Structure 1
């Protein structure tokens, strides 16, 4: 009789334990990264404050608002997740620390998933890849017709950008001027604080419209990056990554068109 009672007790304990495991699993499912975002109802997105045509400030109905291809992607991501969005702008080198400090939920700012960045963040699929160039003063155009002429030239880049290691590798003896904003690149060359600057061609095209005394050289280079992707907190689970990748898959072809569209709009 005692043995029979023990068997029944063991059976009950096993059933209860199984139920607890199932309930525990359900609890984790409801607490997934995607569910947390949905529950909050809003994603706070970090991006560079001035990086046209990807993100830049413009005036609409008397108010200063953010515009650009990355802003367009933010809206698509928010809609795909079924939430609203807020944007926080800062310099490139402050973006990852802001996300790690939970000040923003994700970074949508044409950021490349470099090995170093992957140590502190998880990345989505790539949504865009561009080609880089070098820009100089028109008065120096003949001086920089050959890539060898850049060997000892001072070259401005955005600090922690994909151009930084690319230029260092291409011209190891060239002193680098590391700046915080894209608009600072043109200022540096205009004011003779740098001989040239490196940036992707769509951005260079815009800067040349704003700075007619500068010109694009024939130098072209693909950086070592795989392209631009959305950065997410390191502990993000696959539920949110998959949801973001779905939005990217639906809009990747259009994104390339948005870049050209906004490049024409920037004055």
Structure 2
């Protein structure tokens, strides 16, 4: 009986130690992690703060995959701006690549703290996300083969065009569809796929942002692009989850960049303007 009682006491002590260890504040296996988009940013390597930036890295020169160094690296205009802002505010920026139409949902489900992808703050998007001030203005263009003679929206009657799913260009194409008879729209996820459809003749034209169209046309001399004249603003801004505390601090840095010449420097670097 005495031996049994001692054994029971030892077992109880071991269980108590185990329970106390499980109540520690360290990151134990299975512990829920702080989701992106919360007020307190995640911890980066070295104890700093980290923000997750979601993008669609197929939109050169805004963001794209660069393999020139021998490794796959996402670079571009938006990436440089994000890194500059992160450095000024003391955040490490983690870039996550996904399809364009999944970017706003990533904010809503707290899988990202902000989105940079040449995104325009349309009324529809403003219902689901908060936006920074516009940091770069751009225009839409018609991209087509040179021999096609497709340079104006009215010439797209009875034609098939392609745009990026969820983009401002998709919205612009749907508006054109209301007044241009027989206009057929094909929406695709990646810009490279869009340009390839035009090159192969599977579609007659594409609608792309001018800075993006410029790069693809330079790389594909059989193509041309023509600016679509419009009074609407198609500028790019940073998207955040609704109620994000980061909007104001990001706006302050954007304003500083526009005043101290840093934004112009990056525009010249990536757009040659």
TM-score, reference length from structure 1: 0.77
User: 1 or 2 for the larger relative contact order (CA 8 Å, sep ≥6)?
Assistant: 1
**Residue of structure 2 equivalent to 1:133:** 141
Residue among 186, 194, 208 paired with 1:185: 194
Structure-2 residue corresponding to 1:196? 205
In structure 2, what is the equivalent of residue 170 of structure 1? 176
SS at match of 2:201: coil
**Corresponding residue for 1:158?**
164
Aligned positions of 1:1-150 closer than 5 A = 36-37=40-41, 41-141=49-149, 144-150=150-156
Greater displacement, 64-73 / 165-174:
165-174
How many pairs does the alignment contain? 227
Do the aligned residues in 1 keep the contact of 2:138 with 2:234 (CA within 8 Å)? no
Question: Match of 1:248?
Answer: 254
CA distance in 1, matches of 2:212, 2:160: 20
Q: For the residues of structure 2 that align with 1:222 and 1:199, how far apart are their CA atoms? A: 14
Q: Secondary structure at the match of 1:207?
A: helix
1:45 positional shift: 0.3
Superposition TM-score, scaled by structure 2 size:
0.76
In structure 2, the CA distance between the partners of 1:246 and 1:132, relative to structure 1 (3 Å rule), is same
State the Cα distance separating 1:58 from its structure 2 match. 0.9
Q: Does the 8 Å CA contact 2:50/2:91 hold for their aligned counterparts?
A: yes
User: Residue deviations 1:109-147, cap 9 Å, x none?
Assistant: 111111111121111111111111101112313xx2554
Q: Does 1:232 align with 2:236?
A: no
SS at match of 1:139: helix
2:107–2:114: 8 Å Cα contact kept in structure 1?
Answer: yes
CA drift of 1:167 comes to 2.3
8 Å contact from structure 2 (residues 143, 225) kept in 1: yes
Contact 1:68–1:259 under 8 Å retained in 2: no
| Higher relative strand content | 1
2-structure distance, mates of 1:223, 1:94:
28
- Structure 2's unaligned 5+ residue stretches are 1-36
Equivalent-residue separation in structure 2 for 1:215 and 1:68 (angstroms): 23
C-alpha offsets along residues 209-230 of structure 1, whole Å, 9 cap, x if unaligned? Answer: 222211123x423474452111
Q: Measure, in 2, the Cα distance between the counterparts of 1:257 and 1:199.
A: 24
Structure 1 residues 187 and 256 mapped into 2: Cα distance closer, same or farther (>3 Å)? farther
Q: Which runs of 5+ in 1 are unaligned?
A: 1-32
Give the direction of change, closer, same or farther, for the CA distance of 1:44–1:146 in structure 2 (3 Å limit): closer
